[in-house]
Structure 1
Amino acid sequence: MATWTAFTTLPNRASAEALGEALEALPPEPEGVGVFEIEDGSGRWEVGGYFTEAPDETVLALLAAAHSANPFAVSELPETDWVAHVRRELRPVEAGRFFVHGSHDAEKVPEGRVGLLIDAAMAFGTGHHGTTLGCLKAIDLMASEGFEPATVADIGCGTAVLAMAAAIAWPESTVIASDIDAQAVEVAEANLRINGLSERVDCVEAEGFAHPDLESTGPFDLILANILMGPLIDLAPTMAENCRSDGRAVLSGILVQQADAVISAYESNGFRLERRDDIGEWTTLVLRRS
């Protein structure tokens, strides 16, 4: 099936959001619309639409002019088997003892490494992203240093790759993985089954720590949260309440320039920074609860 994209740029957020709303009402209606700040320090914003029918380029030109935007760049995309493409592009990732791979690389797990199977169709959280990779390295290092958490919570678990790594690193621990999104929980449960870890990790749908399983198991010795800066800062007081004294929190989903704000929020809630690992533009923080 042929698909089309249309992109333009604007000088400020208000104009971009207004154009994004107008774009959503176009005939043919786009399948999706995105409004993003361009991360080059220019202050400019990008608006894009994704279409399964060819958009009317005259209408797009009028829309751009009405919102003081640059002309839309419209492209027809070739038909692509994206899962097959991702499988070709995603190579196995090594993070300490962990070897994260897709089913197409199942025979490549090196001797002495622990394989974690996450398929390309569930690519977010495979370990290729700097945030997931940083958290996996942190888990491996803490285990190597002799840290032994009895209870672990993976908040915003996505594919549950971090919960699985924790269950393997600490076989005697109680591990709970949670996500606010029901579909993510289904993906996590599927990954647990594929990796033979369904009996080791309890997977629940929850906002933050608001679930009976989390409430009855906490406070936790280790909390993993690979989400985003905003939710991490909002969760700081609750994280402190749910982290045992001398427990650890591994936080990621944080851009390098956002790290100081997250550290400050957690220091204000009784944590102190133990380790920081920058991978590309992303930061992973390991904090200890005082």
Structure 2
Amino acid sequence: MLEGLPPNDAAHVMRVHASKAEAGRISDMISETFDPAEVAVTNFELSEDEWVVEAFTGAAFDSEFLKQIVTAAAGAELAATMQFEDVVQKDWVATSLEGLKPVRVGPFMVHGSHDREQVPPSVIGIEIEAALAFGTGHHGTTQGCLAAIADAARLGRPARILDVGTGTGVLAIAAARHFHTYVMATDIDPVAVHTARANAVANRAGPLLNLLCTAGADAGAIREGGPYNLILANILLPPLKRMARSLGDLLAPDGTIVLSGLLVKQVPAALAAYRTQGFVLVRRRHIDGWATLTLKRRHERPLP
């Protein structure tokens, strides 16, 4: 759910136009500064080198503090163009999708309802309907995880799959449809679980997803559903580190863990936590400054 869930009472937005590189730096600094439960940030492309960064919150922003963050990321001149607005409850994904193109990753294409006709017959189309959540597949972490799911297919069909921090459910839906198997999908936010359930039904994967609103990976229902052959965790570094032992205990001996939601500079810290649990890195992807890591037990060979 890295791409963010706006606070349930989101009423304020900051918006700034920037280049792709500037938008990435601004988004990174905002996401690292604020609690993601209080401030959600996203960026999306308007044209070849014009991107928009939007940050949402329930309480009013401290505009001067936010200006300092944007100045540090992209300079004072760009920070002076920031816009602050009060907003009414709106469909965040619907707004974002208006300017977003379908994203193709391996056998998957993530798209909005307005691009439904662009999905080729041979591709697994994943349609993210308008809902109060982000998760449209345009973020580097989502793309990295989708690619890792395609990698896993070359090693066989995982019998049991766990998606921790499912957000809009895009990864769980992709795995369920690609492998035609059941997926346990969890999220700490009830809005995310509701959104993921609706998206699963819309994408003909409803019967294959078991959605659970819970924090961490220690819930009884999660343990009962294991051990898992494939675990997906696209969240943030702190919870990934906290859950290293729990996820390791849930993984089948020959299973694969995919970690994302990591800035490139955070990779060493994530790897250190999982190496202590007996894991080794078998594949690493960098997309737009974000890293996706594929890990297996120490005795397993790296992916070809």
Counterpart for residue 192 of structure 1:
200
Which residue number in structure 2 is paired with residue 20 of structure 1? none
Residue 103 to residue 231, structure 1, CA distance change in 2 (3 Å): same
CA deviations over 1:5-42 (Å, ceiling 9, x no partner): 699xxxxxxxx99xxxxxxxxxxxx84336678489x6
Q: 1:101 aligns with which of 111, 125, 134?
A: 111
Could you give the per-residue CA deviations for residues 142-162 of structure 1, whole angstroms, max 9, x where no partner exists? 21x233211000001001111
State the AA in 2 paired with 1:182.
P
Q: Which of these residues, 159, 172, 178, is aligned with residue 186 of structure 2? A: 178
Q: 5 Å matches for 1:258-273?
A: 258-273=266-281
Partner of 1:26: none
- Structure 1 residues 202 and 268, CA gap change in structure 2 (3 angstroms): same
- Which of 201, 211, 216 is residue 208 of structure 1 equivalent to? 216
Deviation of the 1:185 alpha carbon: 0.6
Give the gaps of 5 or more residues in structure 2.
1-10, 17-32, 35-57, 299-304
* Aligned-residue offset at 1:198: 1.1
Give the structure-1-normalised TM-score.
0.73
Q: Secondary structure in 1 aligned to 2:243?
A: helix
Q: SS at 1:32's partner residue?
A: coil
Deviations 1:149-196 (A, max 9, x none): 11000001001111111111211x331000111111101111111111
1:90/1:217 CA distance change after superposition, 3 Å: same
Q: Is this contact kept in 2: 1:167–1:201, CA < 8 A?
A: yes
How far the C-alpha of 1:210 sits from its partner, in A, is: 3.0
Tell me by how many angstroms 1:123 deviates: 5.7
Aligned to 2:149: 139
User: Partner letter of residue 169 of structure 1?
Assistant: H
Q: Which runs of 5+ in 1 are unaligned?
A: 8-15, 18-29, 47-69
Q: How many residues align?
A: 241
1:33 equivalent to 2:61? Answer yes
Q: Kindly state the Cα deviation for residue 126 of structure 1 after the two structures are TM-superposed.
A: 1.4
User: Which of the pair has the greater relative contact order for Cα pairs under 8 Å at 6+ separation?
Assistant: 2
Q: Report what 2:39 is aligned to.
A: none
Q: Is the 8 A contact 1:86 1:120 kept in 2?
A: no
Larger Rg: 1
Question: 1:150 aligned to 2:178?
Answer: no
**How far 1:260 moved relative to its partner?**
1.2
User: How many angstroms does 1:141 deviate by?
Assistant: 2.0
